[in-house]
Structure 1
Amino acid sequence: MLKPYILLFLFLFLFSELVVAQVKISSWNLQNFGKTKSESEINFVADVLNEFDVVALQEIVAGYGGVQAVAKLADALNRKGSKWGYVISEPTQSTPYATERYAYLWKTSKVKQKGKGWLEPHYRDEIDREPYMLDFIYNGQPFTLVNFHAIPKKKQPETEIKYFKFLPGKYPDKNLIFLGDFNVPQSHTVFNPLKKIGYLPLLENQKTTMKMECVGEECLASEYDNIFFNSKKINLLNFGVVLIYKSFPNMQAVRRISDHIPVWAEFEFSSKRR
């Protein structure tokens, strides 16, 4: 039988060989986030997002008003005790009425940006608002967010999403996390190829868009927002949604912020030291 101090030594050795990192990520469609958002509305968004380490935003207005609104949001977050970095994409290569920007914000003390973000080029002609990708490092562990806003349901977003199954092959060395507003539920068959290679949805049977009016206690409408992660590389520790409408007197008031609620996940990355 091994002596206790030898067992302790073996435990510490094995533990030291393993690097573990945990990060809390949120995704939120902010519905025409631009100059029409008031200071109080931006402050509310900052209050919601402050508990996360990195945030992916969709539907940032393509014009200068969108850039200004994200800068104001970063400033509001900076006043809450942590330093936040942020980047904003160039406008997507879309039809004029559909073009928009994406944004990322992150706590610089916890998450590091690696390189510059890019609008995914491989399927630019097939995807109206091409995803915005950015590499991050958390406690030495790299991951890449794929931020996406699909075309509306009536335009068949599955015709765009079907190309996502090719992205892990295009970026074989990256730990991809797909997140955003897909405008179809995770149960749609278009996600099956991703699921077959290990990318699991964060949420199942969870509605994330808000009704115009609540019907009794039911205020949510559709299962559109989600996060897909590689279950072979990432452990899911916790997840949820933020029911922002509970902070407002009625749905008209909350929908001035957005018609979507934020979704979030806490992930653990682990790998052997080299």
Structure 2
Amino acid sequence: MLKPSILLILLLLFCSELITAQVKISSWNLQNFGKTKSESEINYVADVLNEFDVVALQEIVAGFGGTQAVAKLADALNRKGAKWDYAVSDPTESTPYATERYAFLWKTAKVKREGRAWLDRNYVAEIDREPYMMDFNFKGQSFTLVSFHAIPKKKQPETEIKYFKFLPGKYPDKNLVFLGDFNIPQSHTVFNPLKKAGYLSVLVDQKTTMKMECVGEECLASEYDNIFYNSGKLKSLNFGVKLIYKSFPNMKAVRRISDHIPVWAEFEFSSEEGQCQ
């Protein structure tokens, strides 16, 4: 018969497993995905993304080729040992030159979708490419990804991002995770309202766009892509970027994949209900 102390240790270990969940999320601007990517390039993208549980993609072309490319990417991921599902947005309500789609992909054994994804229309008149949102559930813990591709830096993306401070109030019951290509660094003051509300960026002083050519060992240009999470609801366990240019002979070759590198973060979701009390 087990001693009470051993039973307590086993119970604590079991409860810890029940009330803690970890999910690995990635975001990647794939630069005209659906227009310029060959089968071998799509397979490379699948190799890069296969380690994650859920992925947010930006800059999917608005035409049929964008949706078709995401379907091919999901098929390539499905051939790597895990079952993936995906969702592609309608074209954004943008000026013709800027309209595009977003996409989410996820491992169905790890993450469950909750309802349909949607393009947020709260500030569709103020934001050129309105964010794409989707509710997910990971081992009983719900979270909502808010994927976004801001207007270029020269067009002042802060004029769009300033509306993000209102979204937690628009969705008070959702655990929002903002991610994507913001075209400005996390240090910009436009993010201060989110930070004051408890949102943190996983990356700080990390460049995520690639130069046309490396200058010595420096191949990255700007700090644009990031993931912002509610530190009151999530704990960042690990994070980073994928230095994809190291897999190619030169910058011209890697920029056929994208001019951005993927960013990622692993989060812990802790239950507030105390399932093992």
Compute the TM-score of the two structures, normalised by the length of structure 2.
Answer: 0.95
Secondary structure at the aligned position of 1:207 is classed as: coil
Q: CA deviation at 1:193?
A: 0.3
Q: CA deviation at 1:15?
A: 6.1
Whole-Å separation in 2 of the counterparts to 1:156 and 1:179: 18
Aligned partner of 1:257 in structure 2 is 257
Contact 1:244 1:254 survives alignment (8 Å)? yes
Task: For 1:93-108, list aligned pairs within 5 A.
Answer: 93-108=93-108
> Which of structure 1's runs of 4+ aligned residues deviate more than 6 A?
none
Aligned partner of 1:71 in structure 2 is 71
Q: Does 1:16 align with 2:15?
A: yes
Secondary structure at the aligned position of 2:43 is classed as: helix
Q: CA deviation at 1:6?
A: 5.7
Q: Which runs of 5+ in 2 are unaligned?
A: none
Compared with structure 1, are the counterparts of its residues 10 and 77 closer, same or farther at alpha carbon in structure 2 (3 Å cutoff)? Answer: closer
Aligned partner of 1:167 in structure 2 is 167
Q: Percent identity?
A: 80
Q: CA-to-partner distance for each residue in 1:106-161, whole Å, 9 max, x for gaps?
A: 00010000000010111000000000000000011000000000000000000000
Aligned partner of 2:87 in structure 1 is 87
Q: CA-to-partner distance for each residue in 1:61-106, whole Å, 9 max, x for gaps?
A: 0000000100000000000000000000000000011000000000
Whole-Å separation in 2 of the counterparts to 1:138 and 1:45: 24
Secondary structure at the aligned position of 1:66 is classed as: helix
Aligned partner of 2:148 in structure 1 is 148
Contact 1:186 1:201 survives alignment (8 Å)? yes
Whole-Å separation in 2 of the counterparts to 1:184 and 1:157: 7
Q: Which runs of 5+ in 1 are unaligned?
A: none
Q: CA deviation at 1:56?
A: 0.2
Q: Does 1:197 align with 2:197?
A: yes
Whole-Å separation in 2 of the counterparts to 1:11 and 1:40: 48
Whole-Å separation in 2 of the counterparts to 1:73 and 1:188: 34
Q: CA-to-partner distance for each residue in 1:37-58, whole Å, 9 max, x for gaps?
A: 1001000000000000000000
Contact 1:93 1:129 survives alignment (8 Å)? yes
Task: For 1:1-274, list aligned pairs within 5 A.
Answer: 5=4, 8-9=7-8, 12=11, 16=15, 19-271=19-271, 272-273=273-274
Contact 1:82 1:107 survives alignment (8 Å)? yes
Whole-Å separation in 2 of the counterparts to 1:70 and 1:10: 46
Q: Which amino acid in 2 is paired with 1:109?
A: A
Q: CA deviation at 1:218?
A: 0.0
Secondary structure at the aligned position of 1:191 is classed as: helix
Q: Which amino acid in 1 is paired with 2:127?
A: I
Q: CA deviation at 1:8?
A: 4.8
Contact 1:35 1:68 survives alignment (8 Å)? no
Contact 1:59 1:100 survives alignment (8 Å)? yes
Q: Which amino acid in 1 is paired with 2:15?
A: S
Q: RMSD value over aligned CA atoms?
A: 1.5
Contact 2:36 2:256 survives alignment (8 Å)? no
Greater shift, 23-32 or 35-44, is seen at 35-44
Secondary structure at the aligned position of 1:134 is classed as: strand
Q: CA-to-partner distance for each residue in 1:227-251, whole Å, 9 max, x for gaps?
A: 0000000011100000000000000
Q: CA-to-partner distance for each residue in 1:158-178, whole Å, 9 max, x for gaps?
A: 000000000000000000000
Q: CA deviation at 1:265?
A: 0.3
Secondary structure at the aligned position of 1:27 is classed as: strand
Whole-Å separation in 2 of the counterparts to 1:208 and 1:256: 16
Secondary structure at the aligned position of 2:135 is classed as: strand
Q: Which amino acid in 2 is paired with 1:111?
A: V
Q: CA deviation at 1:264?
A: 0.3
Whole-Å separation in 1 of the counterparts to 2:255 and 2:8: 57
Q: CA deviation at 1:7?
A: 8.3
